[in-house]
Structure 1
Amino acid sequence: MELYHLRTFLAVAEAGHLTRAAEALCISQPAVSAHVKALEAELGLDLFERTPRGMALTPAGAALLDEARQVFGAVDAFRRKAGGLRDELIGAVRIGLNTDAAFLRVAALQQCLRARHPRLEVEFLSGTTGANLPKLRQGRLDACFMSGPVDAAEFDSRLLCEEEMAIAAPLAWRERLGDTSVAALAQLPWIHNSPDRIQHQVMAQLFEALPALPRRAAMANQKDAVLALVAAETGLAVTRRKDIEEAAQRRPLFAIPLPLDAPAPTVSLRFAWLARRGEEAPVRAVVAAIEEVWALDGHESGATADER
């Protein structure tokens, strides 16, 4: 049995879909299918069944899920201990992303780590803030990017920047949007995000005084999809102001500041890890690289749970 078969099993079980698992693992969908089939053939068990929504665990697959997680936990512990016995840092570190790689400076982070620790294997895994924090608790990630508040009793973090949020609107609606009060905006169609996205949280805070969120014209999580839907006059959307202004150079849309008559949420972009793992060599190495890439002084720590 190969470890990458188990890694694929865990990715499909979590994503519930072959394509999303392939994106998280940065491999092709046929490779994911082949890994699953090889593991099922070796075990003599069906681990998944196909459904209209994707891939669902069979009872056998569900029974083996925790065992697979324990195997990876043991492997990681073995690698960390072995790395501590050598002068050179070796092993693997898994970093969860919560938005596009360019904004998070992933390429620069990878280059910095490669230069400092050439034998440290770095895995960047796509996700969201809402999904990344549970994975940190479970040991499935070593560190992650996240937006919004963080529980300083459980996590340490570095503040990277304050993300300025705004409302993306179709350019054709500019005259129609003379009134940008909360009440007026609530009458228009909106593009919603899933609840584990920081954009959903900002939108919920924006309309917290109303009995319900505005009408949902579409649901999208990917930045490009959201901005394309706005440009096509599907509805309004909350996203980073910088992304809106960059997209406006090639698409018919514009940015509306968050209304003055609503709470003005500020969104902190952070790099976080479990406080109890802060002294582990791979975590220290990644945090040091983050501090260099983001030009931090190394002294800023985690925020309180109610910091916004």
Structure 2
Amino acid sequence: MELYQLRTFVTVAQQGHLTQAAELLHLSQPAVTAQIKALEEDMGMPLFDRSAGGVRLTRAGEELLPRAQSILTSSRDLLNHARGLKGQLAGRAIIGTITTPEMLHIGPWIASLVEKYPLLDIQIRHNVTGVILNQVRKKEIDAGFYIGKNPYVNVNTVHLADIRFRVMVPNGWRERIESGGPKALGKIPWVGMSSLSSFNKLCSELWRELNIAPKKLIDVDHVPIMATLMSVGIGAVLMREDDAIRADADGMGYLVPDVVKTAELQFIYPADRDGDPVIDALRVELASEWRGLGVPAPGAQP
């Protein structure tokens, strides 16, 4: 059974006459007759009763006509959709993400990309910031997010927001910090991120600014684990301000006042891909998402 046979079947059923159907289909009457006969052989039953005045559907033909019409409608829809896709952006985009999806607004951004570019193959890879930066630099991924200063000239950055970070310590150490001030932070252990994380660099910068040299007990690569270890008394942590405020409100730890560290949240991609249609699409939709929010990112300065 072929689509052209179904089209002929529907046209003959609508016209009730082989000659009129042949004219509409731009076929000869023998060709229309041959197609109907072939379809009836495939179906194993007659679809029309013939008479001198024309043709009319059999009971089986009446039963099959709506389904044949539905198939033809679906085929037209498929063809129209394919025509609509012609010329659309296609390709692959491997995107490196960090921290939490809420901070990056990753959900709405990816949703807009999927809607506008259905032929774009989007793949998400989550890791710590230093790994994402190196993967972009080496072109192992197409783009990603990074916190901090980008040291590479072959990586372009798009500034998204300035993120504020705060220090939290276990509740049992509150009195020690309140009496000793920021210098007391150098006399307690810390829970730190791996050397490839921006948190590690931010901690080092903060320690230099405070002129302290605390002991780092544990390296982890997952922010929620850092908060958990802090809450059970293992050590101090550097957290995004919005997370720290919530943790303080929940009684997980003590939010150290007046100690703030700020870093840039960046969208990064290889410099030699400036003007690349895939990168341009990612940038345009990302910019639209951040502008559409009308508010800074979580923990960001206005």
Q: TM-score range by the shorter chain?
A: 0.5 to 0.7
- CA deviation digits over 1:219-265, x for unaligned, max 9? 22211111111111111011211111123343421322454xxxx64
Cα offset, 1:284, TM superposition: 0.6
| Among 272, 287, 291, the residue aligned to 1:291 | 287
Whether the 8 Å contact between 1:241 and 1:255 is mirrored in structure 2 is no
- TM-score, with structure 1 as normaliser: 0.62
Aligned to 2:55: none
CA distance in 2, matches of 1:112, 1:209: 41
Percent of pairs with identical residues: 21
Structure 1 gap ranges (5+)? 1-85, 297-308
> Counterpart amino acid of 1:288?
V
CA distance in 1, matches of 2:284, 2:133: 20
Whether the 8 Å contact between 1:245 and 1:254 is mirrored in structure 2 is no
Matching of residue 277 in structure 1 with residue 273 in structure 2 = yes
170-179 or 277-286, larger mean C-alpha shift: 170-179
Corresponding residue SS for 1:134: helix
Corresponding residue SS for 1:174: helix
197-206 or 150-159, larger mean C-alpha shift: 150-159
Whether the 8 Å contact between 2:90 and 2:120 is mirrored in structure 1 is yes
CA distance in 1, matches of 2:226, 2:258: 17
Aligned to 1:238: 238
Aligned to 1:218: 218
CA distance in 1, matches of 2:289, 2:188: 41
Aligned to 1:228: 228
Cα offset, 1:155, TM superposition: 2.4
> Counterpart amino acid of 1:224?
P
- CA deviation digits over 1:129-151, x for unaligned, max 9? 21112211222111110011124
Aligned to 1:186: 186
- CA deviation digits over 1:177-206, x for unaligned, max 9? 114544321111111111111111111112
Whether the 8 Å contact between 1:167 and 1:258 is mirrored in structure 2 is no
Whether the 8 Å contact between 1:91 and 1:119 is mirrored in structure 2 is yes
187-196 or 153-162, larger mean C-alpha shift: 153-162
Cα offset, 1:152, TM superposition: 6.9
Cα offset, 1:276, TM superposition: 1.1
Residues 69-148 of structure 1 mapped to structure 2, 5 A cutoff: 87-148=87-148
117-126 or 171-180, larger mean C-alpha shift: 171-180
> Counterpart amino acid of 2:116?
R
CA distance in 2, matches of 1:258, 1:273: 35
CA distance in 2, matches of 1:250, 1:290: 33
Corresponding residue SS for 1:235: coil
Aligned to 1:203: 203
- CA deviation digits over 1:24-74, x for unaligned, max 9? xxxxxxxxxxxxxxxxxxxxxxxxxxxxxxxxxxxxxxxxxxxxxxxxxxx
For the pair shown, which has the larger CA radius of gyration, 1 or 2? 2
CA distance in 2, matches of 1:180, 1:154: 45
Aligned to 1:48: none
Cα offset, 1:270, TM superposition: 0.7
> Counterpart amino acid of 2:218?
A
- TM-score, with structure 2 as normaliser: 0.63
The structure carrying a bigger helix percent of its residues is 2
Aligned to 1:18: none
CA distance in 2, matches of 1:113, 1:280: 16
CA distance in 2, matches of 1:188, 1:140: 39
Corresponding residue SS for 1:132: helix
CA distance in 2, matches of 1:158, 1:209: 27
Corresponding residue SS for 1:178: helix
Cα offset, 1:217, TM superposition: 3.0
RMSD between aligned alpha carbons? 2.5
Residues 10-25 of structure 1 mapped to structure 2, 5 A cutoff: none
CA distance in 1, matches of 2:116, 2:182: 50
> Counterpart amino acid of 2:287?
E
Report how many aligned residue pairs link the two structures: 209
> Counterpart amino acid of 2:97?
L
CA distance in 2, matches of 1:195, 1:211: 20
Q: 1:173 to 1:141 in 2, by over 3 A?
A: same
- CA deviation digits over 1:156-180, x for unaligned, max 9? 2221111101101222322221145
Cα offset, 1:271, TM superposition: 0.4
Aligned to 2:255: 255
CA distance in 2, matches of 1:96, 1:255: 30
Aligned to 1:304: none
